[in-house]
């Protein structure tokens, strides 16, 4: 079977802390897919929160700074899921059904890591919410870009002002990172990439992991 055929209907997700280089890595994934003969017309890119008209409104709310009212942690989680369900049902599933490869900038791991690890919300609650709203739907392959939070935030800072979540204390991101690492360790369809390396080294590592994954596909 050709590589292109094997890759049809696959959902690849990139995860990581801010400044890990997800945006950059997504370009590398697109280049790798093109090398496998996948036409760009068969690649669908998504981001979370967001990726749909309604989801982008929710993203604005999530990032919004309200001086006189703070977003409750559970409300934040529910907004992440509202945005995700809208994206999965309106964009991701239809694209996969048409044989597209979907490349997602963040997905379910982010809620477990940020809202579960960072905010300290109950993991069972998040797992139940995921199961109730999306059932067994999950990424076929997850690339987690691992970075020391201090370095990630330094990179993010170089790009402009930090948002509401990015301004949280460093231990929030340490807890978030730990959950990401635990999730990858327990998931055979997920790998860790050392994102502290140079862009060229990160690109090489991503290509290598994608090559290995492709070989494993039937």
CB nearer to ligand Z5A: give 28 or 213: 28
Least Å from the CB of residue 210 to ligand Z5A = 17
Distance CA 126, CA 108 (A): 10
Binds ligand Z5A (CB under 6 A): choice among 10, 106, 130, 177: 106
Q: Check binding of 146 to ligand Z5A (CB under 6 A).
A: no
Taking CB under 6 A as the binding criterion, the range among 93-101, 126-134, 155-163, 210-218 that sits at the site for ligand Z5A is 155-163
Taking CB under 6 A as the binding criterion, the range among 17-25, 65-73, 181-189, 204-212 that sits at the site for ligand Z5A is 17-25
Q: Check binding of 154 to ligand Z5A (CB under 6 A).
A: no
Distance CA 62, CA 132 (A): 22
Binds ligand Z5A (CB under 6 A): choice among 12, 13, 29, 80: 80
109 close to 144: Cβ distance less than 8 angstroms: yes
Binds ligand Z5A (CB under 6 A): choice among 13, 101, 126, 156: 156
Site for ligand Z5A in 192-211 (CB under 6 A): 198-199, 202
Record the tokens describing residue 37, joined without a space: 């003969």
Total residues at interface with ligand Z5A (CB under 6 A): 25
Number of CB atoms found within 10 A of residue 67's CB: 5
φ and ψ of 12, to 5 deg: -105, 130
Helix axes 73-87, 53-63, angle to 10 degrees: 160
Q: Check binding of 103 to ligand Z5A (CB under 6 A).
A: no
Q: Which residues bind ligand Z5A (CB under 6 A)?
A: 16, 18-24, 48-49, 80, 106, 110-111, 114-115, 155-156, 158-159, 165-166, 198-199, 202
């Amino acid at each position: 079977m050709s590589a292109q055929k094997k890759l049809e209907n696959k959902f690849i997700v990139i995860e990581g802390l801010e400044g890990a280089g997800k945006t950059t890595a997504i370009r590398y994934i697109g280049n790798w897919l093109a090398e496998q003969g996948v036409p760009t017309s068969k690649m669908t890119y998504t981001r979370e929160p967001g990726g749909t008209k309604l989801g982008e409104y929710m993203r604005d709310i999530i990032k919004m700074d309200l001086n006189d009212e703070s977003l409750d942690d559970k409300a934040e989680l529910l907004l992440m899921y509202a945005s995700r369900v809208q994206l999965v049902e309106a964009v991701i599933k239809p694209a996969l059904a048409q044989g597209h490869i979907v490349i997602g900038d963040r997905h379910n791991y982010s809620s477990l890591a940020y809202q579960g690890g960072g905010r300290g919300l109950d993991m069972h609650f998040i797992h139940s919410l995921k199961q109730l709203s999306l059932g067994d739907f999950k990424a076929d392959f997850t690339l987690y870009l691992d970075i020391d939070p201090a370095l990630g935030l330094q990179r993010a800072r170089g790009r402009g002002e930090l948002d509401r979540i990015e301004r949280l204390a460093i231990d929030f991101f340490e807890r978030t990172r730990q959950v990401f690492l635990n999730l990858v360790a327990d998931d055979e369809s997920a790998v860790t990439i050392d994102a502290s390396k140079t862009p060229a080294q990160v690109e090489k590592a991503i290509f290598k992991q994608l090559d290995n994954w492709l070989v494993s596909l039937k």
